[in-house]
């Protein structure tokens, strides 16, 4: 999901705070799908916190001829007939021409007349996918509503060394597309919640008790990394409990890893693409769901 905010005034998105007409914000007549409104658009404190986790495109009506900017909404406050938002741009992300929004409006969920009207809409499309088709860099947001990772149960948790982060992140994002929001524990999706004391205890609880399937990316780097070792202590408990169906090994090399044996089955990452690996993980998740 993402926010699309369109203004007909060329100086609107220059103050990092703006007061908008409530009649133009998050309404079905203003291009927000009806099924999203009750869940996200009633301006409750909980809903507002969820909305601030999403990326936002701050754009202009087509006639203004100014580029849109990628950013996020920091705070939302509704009062009377107005809604105040505080926001910031992601300065490292390139401006997005109006022509790009128009050309890829189908992929971005933008209706034909939408770029000709001042409004704020919530879109249930993948912003990263739409912009990537236009050659833009990856949108650096998890693009998922907020959940508490100390309580939430994930379909999949990924355990890997930093050396294969790019490979693993591609898999994580593909899994979110096919399994849904907040189904995959991948550390960069939940950075703010991992900045806490006693992180080792929280991670061992997550990997050991709140992931239906743990996918381990084995390599010499995995064997040598402190945090991988912390995570694998919880994973070994799963194996020791003979819940083998809850663990899946992906190997990058033949380096020994304590607790993993030569007869343990694995998928060779050197022979399969990220999309193929994601599909195999999805298959394991479905098998687990079918026996739950």
- Summarised one tens digit per residue, pLDDT across range 44-80 is 988 888 788 789 999 999 999 899 999 999 999 999 9
Average pLDDT over residues 90-105: 94
* 23: pLDDT strictly greater than 70: yes
Q: Which two tokens stand for residue 74?
A: 């920091």
- Summarised one tens digit per residue, pLDDT across range 261-271 is 999 999 999 99
CA–CA separation, 235 and 210 (whole Å):
12
> Would you state the pLDDT for residue 52?
86
> Would you state the pLDDT for residue 140?
73
Beta bridge partners of 214: 157, 247
54, exposed or middle or buried, with CB in 10 Å at 0-12, 13-18, 19+?
Answer: buried
> Would you state the pLDDT for residue 246?
97
> Would you state the pLDDT for residue 101?
97
The CATH number of 154-291, from 1.10.760.10, 3.40.50.10140, 1.10.10.10, 2.40.170.20, is: 3.40.50.10140
65 vs 159, which has greater pLDDT? 159
Model confidence at 134, in pLDDT bands (50, 70, 90)? very high
Whether 141 and 169 have beta carbons less than 8 Å apart is answered as: no
Rounded to 10 deg, the angle between the 274-291 and 165-179 helix axes is 50
Whether 66 and 10 have beta carbons less than 8 Å apart is answered as: yes
> Would you state the pLDDT for residue 80?
92
* 144: pLDDT strictly greater than 80: no
> Would you state the pLDDT for residue 143?
55
State the DSSP code for 31.
Answer: T
Average pLDDT over residues 105-122: 96
- Summarised one tens digit per residue, pLDDT across range 160-217 is 999 999 899 889 988 987 898 899 999 988 888 898 999 999 999 999 999 999 999 9
For the chain, the first-to-last Cα distance in angstroms comes to 29
> Would you state the pLDDT for residue 15?
87
CA torsion sign for 247, 166, 4, 74 is: positive
- Average pLDDT for the chain: 93
Distances (CA, A) of 101 to 68, 126, 137: 9, 13, 15
Average pLDDT over residues 107-111: 96
- Every domain of the chain with CATH number 3.40.50.10140 lies at 154-291
pTM above 0.75, yes or no: no
């Amino acid at each position: 999901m993402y926010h699309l905010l369109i203004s007909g005034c060329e100086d609107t998105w220059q103050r990092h705070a703006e007061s908008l007409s409530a009649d133009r914000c998050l309404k079905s007549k203003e291009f927000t799908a009806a099924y999203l409104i009750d869940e996200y658009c009633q301006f409750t404190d909980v809903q507002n916190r969820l909305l601030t986790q999403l990326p936002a495109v701050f754009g202009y009506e087509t006639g203004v001829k100014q580029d849109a900017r990628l950013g996020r909404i920091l705070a939302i406050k509704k009062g009377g007939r107005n809604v105040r938002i505080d926001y910031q741009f992601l300065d490292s992300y390139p401006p997005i021409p109006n022509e790009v929004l128009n050309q890829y409006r189908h992929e971005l969920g933008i209706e034909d007349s939408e770029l000709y009207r001042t409004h704020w809409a919530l879109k249930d499309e993948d912003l990263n996918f739409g912009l990537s088709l236009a050659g833009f860099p990856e949108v650096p947001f998890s693009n998922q509503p907020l959940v508490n990772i100390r309580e939430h149960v994930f379909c999949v948790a990924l355990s890997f060394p930093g050396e294969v982060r790019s490979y693993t992140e591609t898999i994580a994002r593909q899994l979110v597309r096919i399994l849904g929001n907040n189904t995959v524990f991948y550390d960069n999706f939940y950075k703010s919640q991992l900045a806490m004391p006693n992180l080792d205890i929280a991670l061992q609880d997550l990997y050991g008790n709140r992931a239906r399937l743990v996918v381990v990316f084995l390599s010499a780097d995995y064997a040598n990394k402190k945090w991988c070792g912390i995570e694998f202590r919880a994973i070994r408990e799963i194996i020791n409990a003979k819940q083998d169906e809850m663990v899946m090994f992906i190997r990058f090399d033949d380096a020994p890893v304590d607790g993993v044996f030569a007869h343990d089955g694995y998928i060779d990452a050197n022979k399969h693409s990220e999309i193929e690996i994601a599909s195999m993980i999805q298959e394991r998740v479905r098998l687990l769901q079918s026996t739950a």
